[in-house]
Structure 1
C-alpha cells in the first residue's frame, strides 16, 4: 500500500523536528510509531547510491517501493510504500 500524502507530511514533520539530533535507531523507532504499517528497513548510508528523499542528523531517508518481490529505492513518492533509514557516520 503506497504511503499517503498525510503519511509523507507526518514523516517530513518528524524529520524537521528531529533535525541535527536524528540518529538511525531513534528515527526508526519514531517512524514505526508514527506510521505503524510502514515497511521500514535500515542500512549504512555507504550502501545506498541514490540521492535521499530527506536527510536529518546522521540519517538519510530513502523512499522504497516494496510492492513487488524485490524492494527498490524510488524517487517517486507516489510509488513509495516504505522507507529506508540509512545511517551516516558522524562528521
Structure 2
C-alpha cells in the first residue's frame, strides 16, 4: 500500500530526487556514562569520577535527500533547564 501511494503521488507531482528526503531522529544524553577502566590485577582499588547531575535528553535529526545531499544535524533541546552552552560550536 505504501509503494502504491508513493507511485501515485510521484506520478501526480513529479518530484525530483532533490525533493524526496529521509529523516531520522535519535536521542542522546548530555551526561556521559561511566567509562570502563583497565587496571593491573595486583591493584586493590581503582577509582573514577563522573558528573552526579541528572542528564537531559537531546534529540537530533538527520536529513538526507535521495540525490545524496545531507543537511546539518538539527538539535531539539528540552525547554526545561535549557543551557546556552548547548550551542557552543554550532552553526547559526
TM-score, normalised with respect to structure 2: 0.24
Structure showing greater radius of gyration is 2
Answer 1 or 2: which has greater strand percent.
Answer: 1
Answer 1 or 2: which has greater helix percent.
Answer: 1
